């Protein structure tokens, strides 16, 4: 086993570089690219050194880049864009990681480590406002719950909402791009001299207008090829069929570790329930005759 390349991003680095999700790693890590899938707004399409996935909107897809949250494998990339949780660090391992991370890591692995309960009381709050009337509130509170400080707990969450306006549907006359999101995570930890345990429960609920395809008109050949959207702008869509993305995910992780004279034994158990629904008209709302189909 050999790690070809690895990089760990610490909290102070992520704060300074304004990294709020794995999508932001694209601009920091060489030969690593993360972006959204074409089906739905919550899926992750990850590429490391050219290896990755092209159909991440399909629930049977398994990426060549393994995505882990607190060392638990996320089997479906349709809800892997984590931006609500307090992140302690992000580990990027480039190159085959099959021995330690399984067969679905022929291109590499990404491990997102969330912030656990702290030994002293801490609390943070973030409030934001942006384009299209986007509002977000994010909070984190943590501290000991026993006199000796061995039992600790933390709670974090975020509420985010955005009005339509990212694109205009010229067929229906409505603005699209509306989004509502809620995410929360609770942790309970015990820290002893030789035994440590951490139980993590999290839930996310996303309800958005989804993504709209824009059909292009291609003229010319070779170096003179010109690609233009048929609606005149990528800010304008034409599909009469409403797109949507509705994703609910609930996770439960349990990590146990025992230290002894000869080393450490660690047990990691994870359970995840995902309900993913999305709809998108990939034709962009143009007649089938443009593709050589009847009608």
Q: 266-283: per-residue pLDDT in tens?
A: 999 999 998 988 888 888
pLDDT means over runs of 10, the chain (295 residues): 52 72 74 74 77 63 82 74 75 83 82 90 93 93 96 95 93 92 95 96 92 88 89 91 91 96 94 89 73 55
Q: 13-62: per-residue pLDDT in tens?
A: 777 777 766 677 777 777 888 777 766 677 777 788 877 765 555 656 67
What's the pTM value of the predicted model, to 2 decimals? 0.84
Output 238-241 pairs: Cβ under 8 A, ≥24 positions apart. Answer: 238/169, 238/170, 238/171, 238/214, 238/284, 238/285, 238/286, 239/169, 239/171, 239/212, 239/213, 239/281, 239/283, 239/284, 239/285, 240/171, 240/172, 240/281, 240/285, 241/279, 241/281, 241/285
Can you tell me which residue has the tokens 């059909």? 215
pLDDT of residue 1: 34
Can you tell me which residue has the tokens 């609390």? 123
* Phi, psi dihedral angles at 223 (to 5 degrees): -70, -20
3-state secondary structure of 24: helix
pLDDT of residue 258: 96
Widest distance between CA atoms in the chain: 75
Task: Determine contact, residues 162/134, Cβ cutoff 8 Å.
Answer: yes
Rounded-to-integer distance, Cα 72 and Cα 197, Å: 15
Rounded-to-integer distance, Cα 48 and Cα 67, Å: 12
Say if strands 87-94 and 263-279 run parallel, antiparallel, or are unpaired: unpaired
pLDDT of residue 2: 37
- Residue 271, sorted as left (phi over 0), alpha (psi -120 to 50) or beta, turns out to be beta
pLDDT of residue 3: 42
Question: Could you tell me the sign of the dihedral formed by the alpha carbons of 229, 231, 234, 238, in that order?
Answer: negative
Strand order in the sheet with 32-36: 32-36, 44-48, 51-52
Can you tell me which residue has the tokens 């092209």? 54
Contact residues for 52 (Cβ-Cβ < 8 A; gap 6+): 33, 45, 46, 63, 64, 65, 107
Strand order in the sheet with 195-208: 122-130, 134-144, 151-162, 179-191, 195-208, 244-260, 263-279
Tokens of 253: 């992780």
* Phi, psi dihedral angles at 215 (to 5 degrees): -75, 140
For the chain, counts of helices (H) and of strands (E): 2, 20
pLDDT of residue 4: 42
């Amino acid at each position: 086993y050999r790690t070809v390349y690895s990089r760990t991003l610490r909290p102070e680095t992520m704060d300074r570089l304004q990294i709020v999700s794995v999508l932001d790693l694209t601009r920091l890590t060489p030969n690593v690219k993360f972006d959204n899938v074409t089906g739905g707004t919550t899926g992750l399409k990850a590429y490391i050194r050219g290896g990755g996935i092209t159909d991440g909107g399909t629930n049977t897809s398994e990426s060549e880049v393994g995505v882990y949250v607190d060392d638990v494998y996320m089997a479906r990339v349709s809800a892997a864009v984590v931006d609500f949780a307090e992140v302690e660090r992000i580990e990027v391992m480039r190159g085959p990681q099959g021995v330690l991370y399984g067969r679905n890591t022929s291109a590499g692995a990404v491990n997102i480590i969330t912030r656990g309960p702290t030994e002293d009381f801490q609390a943070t709050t973030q409030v934001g406002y942006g384009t299209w009337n986007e509002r977000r509130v994010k909070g984190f509170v943590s501290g000991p719950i026993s006199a000796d400080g061995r039992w600790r707990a933390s709670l974090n969450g975020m509420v985010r909402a955005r009005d339509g306006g990212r694109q205009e549907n010229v067929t229906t006359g409505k603005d699209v791009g509306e989004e509502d999101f809620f995410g929360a995570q609770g942790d309970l930890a015990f820290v002893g001299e030789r035994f440590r345990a951490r139980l993590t429960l999290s839930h996310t609920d996303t309800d958005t207008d989804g993504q709209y395809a824009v059909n292009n008109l291609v003229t010319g050949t070779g170096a003179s090829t010109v690609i233009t959207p048929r609606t005149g702008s990528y800010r304008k869509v034409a599909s009469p069929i409403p797109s949507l993305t509705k994703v609910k995910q609930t996770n439960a992780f349990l990590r146990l570790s025992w230290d002894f004279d000869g080393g450490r034994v660690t047990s990691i158990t994870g359970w995840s329930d995902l309900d993913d629904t999305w709809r998108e008209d990939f034709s962009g709302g143009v007649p089938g005759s443009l593709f050589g189909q009847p009608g």
